[in-house]
Each structure stands twice: as C-alpha cells, then as structure tokens.
C-alpha cells in the first residue's frame, strides 16, 4: 500500500466524490477511480458506497480513514522532522488536551517557543482523556493535557498550576439558579448537555 494512495483515499472521503477529489489532486477521474478500486481489492473490503454523484464511507471505510489519517500524520511528522538539516530547531510538536484552563498556559508557553524558534510548529488535538491517552500511547501525540480523574500511573507527569471550574447554565427561574453552589446530586435527575 502506497502513501500516495492513502492520500487519494482521504481526498475522496473528504470531498465526497471522485470528481471533487480528482480536481483537488489534479488527477483524471478514471485514474483516481482505479486507484480507489485497487485499494479496496487490496484490503478486501468495500470502503465507499457509490451513489449517483457521491461517495459515502462504509463503516469499514470510516475505520480505515482513521488509520489512514494516523499513518499520514506520522509520515508528515517524519518528513517535517528532517526537513531542516542545518541544525536549527524545527519540527512539529503534537499536543492533545481537553477543555481546560491549562490550555491557556500551554498556549503562552507555545507562543514563547515559537518566538525563539519560528521553524517549530504546533498541532493541537482536542479530545477527552481516553482519546488523548490512546494517541499518546500510539505515538501520535508528544504529550497530553488531562483533566483529573484520569489513570496517569503509566506516564511521566507534572501537575499543572491551574484549577478548572465548571458551571451550569440555566434559566433564571430554575430552582437551581437560587443556589450558591450546585453539587453532583442536584443534577442527577436533570437532562444535561455536556462536553465529552
């Protein structure tokens, strides 16, 4: 399986059609269609449902897209790491984190690094603790920012000097609006819209 073909697959998945992907990739439609068909034959699975003018990922296609994106991300990282052979500090740092106040601190640190080393780039992945830990374990992230409680026993870690405060938005006439503090038990019977 060639990296080039993975890029073709991702383009078709993103564009939702061979026509759009072929235009994006500057390829002919027959060439791109043949490459996708050969990829499906090589894998022994159907990646797309072909409709009149669109291509929709199958369940297997969705799973394969995730793996293809991970592979391409690692290839891009390797290429970036060795693209400045003159010894300057360069490359990409991949960080994962959730919706936490610590990310402000991380952003300030990244800004300082970028000022001193403009060839260093940063990729920030937003996700919950499970997602971030899985990506760290697979080598897709250089480090992660996790909100406690999280099982961090197998990682080297530093506790960040920040505390997150969560709030609940509600109508003014809601009985909970009169409370000074809301506890977990106050919310158990109430339907909530929460972040992952």
Band the pLDDT of 74: cuts 50, 70, 90: confident
Whether the full predicted model's pTM is greater than 0.85, yes or no, is no
What average pLDDT does range 104-122 have in this prediction?
Answer: 86
Candidates 71, 108, 102, 114; CA nearest to 164 is: 102
CB atoms within 10 A of CB 165: 5
Predicted pLDDT at 56 = 92
- Tell me: the pLDDT tens digits for 121-168? 888 888 888 888 888 888 888 888 887 777 777 888 788 877 777 778
What average pLDDT does range 176-195 have in this prediction?
Answer: 84
- Tell me: the pLDDT tens digits for 181-190? 888 888 888 8
146 or 28, higher pLDDT: 28
Pairing assessment for the beta strands 143-145 and 91-97 based on DSSP bridges: parallel
Instruction: Give backbone dihedrals phi and psi of 193, rounded to 5 degrees, phi first.
Output: -110, 115
Q: Is 79 exposed, middle or buried, given 0-12, 13-18 or 19+ CB atoms closer than 10 A?
A: exposed
- Tell me: the pLDDT tens digits for 42-56? 999 999 999 888 899
């Amino acid at each position: 399986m060639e990296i080039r073909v993975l890029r073709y697959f991702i383009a078709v998945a993103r564009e939702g059609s061979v026509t759009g992907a072929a235009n994006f990739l500057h390829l002919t439609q027959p060439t791109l269609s043949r490459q996708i068909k050969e990829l499906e034959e090589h894998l022994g699975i159907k990646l797309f449902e072909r409709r009149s003018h669109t291509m929709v990922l199958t369940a297997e296609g969705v799973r394969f897209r995730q793996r293809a994106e991970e592979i391409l991300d690692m290839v891009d990282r390797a290429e970036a790491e060795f693209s400045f052979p003159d010894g300057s500090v360069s490359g990409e740092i991949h960080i994962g984190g959730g919706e936490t106040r610590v990310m402000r601190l991380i952003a300030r640190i990244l800004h300082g690094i970028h000022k001193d080393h403009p060839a260093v780039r940063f990729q920030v992945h937003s996700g919950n603790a499970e997602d971030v830990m899985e990506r760290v374990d697979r080598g897709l992230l250089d480090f992660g920012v996790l909100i406690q409680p999280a099982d961090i026993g197998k990682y080297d870690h530093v506790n960040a000097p920040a505390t997150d405060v969560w709030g609940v938005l509600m109508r003014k006439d809601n009985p909970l609006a009169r409370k000074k503090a809301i506890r977990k038990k106050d919310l158990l019977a109430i339907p909530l819209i929460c972040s992952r």
